[in-house]
Amino acid sequence: MGEIAFGPTGQGLRQMPENSLQKMRIVSIRSDGIARRKTVFIPLFQSQRLSDLPLIAQFLAQTRRLLLAFAQNQFKGEDGETKSLWLSSSGSSPERIVLFGLGEKTKWHERKEPLVARRMVRHAKAEKIDEFAIALIGSARLFSQNALMAEFEYTKYKERPKSGWPEVKTVFLGVEPRLIAETKKEIEQGVTMGQEVNACRELANTPGSDMTPAKLAAAAIAVGKRTGVKVKILDEPQIKKLGMGGVIGVARGSDEKPKFIILEYMKGLRGQKPLVLAGKGVTFDTGGINLKPEPYMSDMHMDMSGGAAVIHGMAAIARLRQPINVVGLIPAVENMPSGSSYRPGDLLKSLSGKTIEVLNTDAEGRVILADALTYALRYNPALIADFATLTGAAHVALGNYCSALFTNRERLMDPLGKIGRESGDYVWPLPLWDEYLAEIKGTFGDIANIAKQDRYGGAIHGAKFLEQFVNDTPWAHIDIAPRMTAVDSDYLAKGATGVGVRYIVELAKAYPQLNLA
Ligand code: BES
Ligand code: MN
Ligand code: ZN
């Protein structure tokens, strides 16, 4: 790949989130030390009693009467219920116990576990509790990761209040003494994950004027310096020379020049075919000449969420020292209307040689990803996975709680779904049948970027379009539009969710074992 040059260095790095990796401490302590902490958090199922919890019993002795009376009279343990009780103001600990209702035990499911840590941290922040102790239930790695995610707040553009931002400085995780060393390691991994998810959210939340293709490239370079991931940036002349007519076409309307970001982490066996990740990097999507109407445009600085997930997913893979080969490809552009914009009806020659008939300039993500997917084939990948805020239609189809999963290997559906469940970045399958391909056949070009006649099934049309550029390489497309922004039940700050980072890490761990035939 002789045409590759190193891109911008230095500029813009100082504003990047590299110096704001979260400071929250999570400390494993002996479970009998919980009672010596100021504030103790206790999760409880409906009808579960405090005396049923062996780890809590140790401090119950001092405070039993108060607690039981209170718990029985005022706390039902309903899902989402929280009850705070003060035990003492004299400095003897614990001063305060907070009960968190988990609802009926029979209605518990796996998606609720990560939310417990988040609820606790959000509660602590709201109540200005800067440290708390809990007896660990479940995995310390998941707890830590989710605690950090809940601690994150996007405050870069706000004036700092005199008293500072409420923050949870320390969480004490009580475990059996023999598990302390092991728990420490799990916490470290969870903290690493949480930090990278939050760094991804920081990038995605950054307004379009401050997160241009050049700034996204600079962020990738900064991540490369911090983690050892190799980063190369192709600039506009190089992108043009390569023949990426899709990237060039979409970028044409903007004053911001496109960048093509390449990340390489090759710590697997020599000759092991890599996992190639592609991420949509539209730093602002106005829709172009097919301008978006008012309510749909203001969130579109987050249209590079897939690209940010690839950058920080790879950062996490490197920091966790996974022995694998992973490549990340991010076409970064801004989609603007202007006198130089690409037009409806334009025919763009993609890197693959296929021409793309542009019927709608707002279906730009697939146009730039087409070139990235073709470029991916150069690496002879074992598997390609792309992450893109591709369609509002995916959001309409699935609602708020999972991304849309497509693959050209049906046997991968189950393992890819499982990766979603285990990572917390949930995915749900949609079909990729050839009936849908017929609807995006080009009239004057090889393939159209939207369905002209029948627009039902827009998420599938997007996926079917992308499939044309992977030849027959095993491939998964994750349309993360439904998870681009947080909803109340996420117990996360408003804005970007960091969707994709956790999925990418679990996918990287799992892919050597997948049956990709
Ligand atoms: N970036 C949008 C999709 C999107 C919308 C993501 C809302 C997250 C939230 C994408 O580029 C787009 O505009 N898609 C169009 C496709 C249509 C023109 C076929 C859409 O979904 O309306
Ligand atoms: Mn668009
Ligand atoms: Zn878009």
Query: If DSSP states are collapsed to H, E and C, what string results for 451-479?
Result: CCCCCCCHHHHHHHHHHCCCCCCCEEEEE
Nearest atom, ligand 1, residue 302 CA: 8
Active-site residue 292, yes or no? yes
Count of residues for the chain?
517
Active-site residue 30, yes or no? no
pLDDT of 466: 99
82-86 vs 259-266, strand pairing mode: unpaired
CA of 69 to the centre of ligand 1 (A): 54
Active-site residue (options: 30, 184, 292, 421): 292
CB 234 within 8 A of CB 242: yes
Nearest atom, ligand 1, residue 391 CA: 21
Question: Looking up tokens 């469940």, which residue turns up?
Answer: 421
SS3 142: helix
Query: In which element (H, E) is residue 348 found?
Result: strand 347-349
pLDDT of 199: 98
CA of 299 to the centre of ligand 1 (A): 11
Those residues whose beta carbon sits under 5 angstroms from the ion ligand 2 are: 285, 362, 364
Q: Is the CB of 389 under 6 A from ligand 1?
A: yes
Active-site residue (options: 366, 409, 464, 502): 366
CA of 303 to the centre of ligand 3 (A): 5
* Per-residue pLDDT tens listing for the chain (517 residues): 333 333 333 333 333 444 467 789 999 999 888 888 999 999 999 988 777 776 566 565 555 556 666 666 788 999 999 999 887 767 777 889 999 999 999 999 999 999 999 999 999 999 999 999 999 989 999 999 999 999 999 999 999 999 999 999 999 999 999 999 999 999 999 999 999 999 999 999 999 999 999 999 999 999 999 999 999 999 999 999 999 999 999 999 999 999 999 999 999 999 999 999 999 999 999 999 999 999 999 999 999 999 999 999 999 999 999 999 999 999 999 999 999 999 999 999 999 999 999 999 999 999 999 999 999 999 999 999 999 999 999 999 999 999 999 999 999 999 999 999 999 999 999 999 999 999 999 999 999 999 998 889 999 999 999 999 999 999 999 999 999 999 999 999 999 999 999 999 999 999 999 998 7
Exposure b/e, 281-304, CB count within 10 A at least 16 = b: bbbbbbbbbbebeeeeeeebbbbb
The preferred substitution site among 366, 391, 460, 487 for testing ligand 1, maximizing ligand atoms within 8 Å of CB, is 391
User: What are the contacts of 203-207 at 24+ separation with CB within 8 A?
Assistant: 203/17, 203/304, 203/308, 203/311, 203/312, 204/301, 204/302, 204/304, 204/305, 204/308, 204/484, 204/495, 204/496, 204/498, 205/154, 205/301, 205/302, 205/495, 205/496, 206/156, 206/301, 207/157, 207/301
pLDDT of 16: 40
SS3 441: strand
Would you state the structure tokens that stand for residue 175, as one six-digit string? 């475990």
Would you state the structure tokens that stand for residue 404, as one six-digit string? 């849309």
In this structure, the dihedral spanned by the alpha carbons of residues 67, 72, 77 and 80, taken in order and rounded to 10 degrees, is: -70
